[in-house]
Amino acid sequence: MSMARFSPFELVLLNSRSQVDTATLLLLAWVLVHRQHVSEGQRRRRLAQVTAQFRHGHELGPVMSIAHSQDLQAIQLAAEILRKECSQERSLSVLHQSITVATDDGDLSLANHYILRFLADLLNVAPTTLSTLFYELTGRPLGSPEDPSRHTYWQHHNPDYFSQKAREAAAEQQARDEAAQQAHQKNQQREQKKQRKQQEKQRQQEEAQARQERERQQQRDDQNRREQAQRERAQHDRSRYERAQGERRQWQRTSPPPDRTTRALAVLGLPPGASRSDVRLAYRRMAQLHHPDRFFTESEHQVALASARFQRIKNAYDYLMQTY
């Protein structure tokens, strides 16, 4: 059979020589672990002293571990074993031992107060019987357990209760203030980050606008330079033209008028210094172009103009043939 199907207390019961003694041992251990200001070694020594006559035959360690774990199912099983296997007298004996263990130092802890009442209920012992037994053993009545949810309980058991509460409230207020301050700082950081982003965006927009303005200004400057260059070139060309015209007029005023030979050569379309053969060739060409016979179909006026031109050409040729 698998051992994993059993609880730790059931395993202890399986290895016990007396399940009644083991059940009693667990209930007493449960009371001992709720004793205040008692070390674990003292608890074990006291448990060994109380149960010296028991016949359980196993170590106390596993039982103490179960008691520390607050296994209520194991506690209930132990009480059922006692109630089933023992007489009322034995149940009272177990309750007697529990009261003795719980009040060794004269004080009954609040937890053990409730545990004694719980054990009495599990063992079918009436509350009045429990109170009588407690009075017989301790010499003082077993009153109602105090309510730890009330301020009066803590004021009685802890004189520093209200100052401790004040410190706790101050600590809580300080924690809230710190949380609020941290939240405020985070909000400020978010706002600052948001402002930095807005400022960066605005700066980028301003830089873009400034860059566009610089580009437009550069374009205007380039256009102005081109226009200025065009004006300067036009002024330069005009100045050069005027200078050339002035030089030409000056040359015309200072140079002597052309002689008859030059004029005759010009009529034939020849430059000064042309040769005699050039004159003949030019005359033949000009005579062919301007002979009056070529204009017989034209009007009388056109024929008269052609005759005049041909006569000037012939006169120039005759003069040049005589002088060359």
Asked whether the beta carbons of 90 and 39 are under 8 A apart, the reply is: no
* Residues 82-103 as b or e (16 or more Cβ within 10 Å = b): bbeebeeeebbebbebbbebbb
Q: Could you list the pLDDT tens digit for every one of the 324 residues in the chain?
A: 445 588 888 888 888 898 888 888 888 888 888 887 778 888 888 888 888 888 878 888 888 899 889 888 998 888 888 888 777 888 888 888 888 888 887 778 778 888 888 888 888 889 899 888 888 888 888 877 666 666 565 555 556 666 777 788 888 888 898 988 999 899 999 999 999 999 999 999 999 998 999 999 999 988 989 989 888 888 887 888 888 777 767 755 554 456 888 888 888 888 888 888 998 998 999 888 888 888 778 888 888 888 888 899 999 899 988 887
Asked whether the beta carbons of 310 and 265 are under 8 A apart, the reply is: no
Asked whether the beta carbons of 36 and 104 are under 8 A apart, the reply is: no
Going 183 to 184 to 189 to 193, the CA torsion angle's sign is positive
What three-state secondary structure class fits 125? coil
Q: Which helix (H) or strand (E) holds 61?
A: helix 61-68
Question: Which DSSP state fits 244?
Answer: H
Q: What is the pLDDT, as a whole number, of residue 244? A: 76
Q: What is the pLDDT, as a whole number, of residue 219? A: 92
* Euclidean distance between CA atoms 122 and 31, whole angstroms: 14
Backbone angles phi, psi at 31, to 5 degrees: -70, -40
Task: Tell me which long-range contacts 193-202 makes (C-beta under 8 A, separation of at least 24).
Answer: none
Q: What is the pLDDT, as a whole number, of residue 99? A: 86
Q: What is the pLDDT, as a whole number, of residue 281? A: 92
Question: Which DSSP state fits 87?
Answer: -
Asked whether the beta carbons of 126 and 95 are under 8 A apart, the reply is: no
Q: What is the pLDDT, as a whole number, of residue 4? A: 56
Q: What is the pLDDT, as a whole number, of residue 205? A: 92
* Euclidean distance between CA atoms 95 and 103, whole angstroms: 12
Q: What is the token pair recorded at 260?
A: 């008859």
* Euclidean distance between CA atoms 22 and 66, whole angstroms: 12
* Euclidean distance between CA atoms 186 and 194, whole angstroms: 12
pTM of the model as a whole: 0.46
Q: What is the token pair recorded at 210?
A: 């400034």
Q: What is the pLDDT, as a whole number, of residue 103? A: 86
* Euclidean distance between CA atoms 99 and 88, whole angstroms: 16
Asked whether the beta carbons of 78 and 121 are under 8 A apart, the reply is: no
**Regarding the domain delimited by 260-323, which CATH topology (the fold level of the hierarchy) does it fall under?**
Helix Hairpins (1.10.287)
Asked whether the beta carbons of 134 and 116 are under 8 A apart, the reply is: yes
Beta-carbon contacts of residue 155 (< 8 Å; ≥ 6 apart): 161, 162
Q: What is the pLDDT, as a whole number, of residue 159? A: 63
Q: How many other C-beta atoms are found inside a 10 Å radius of the C-beta of residue 122?
A: 18
Q: How many other C-beta atoms are found inside a 10 Å radius of the C-beta of residue 308?
A: 12
Q: What is the token pair recorded at 25?
A: 């041992």
User: Residue ranges of the domains in the chain?
Assistant: 3-145, 260-323
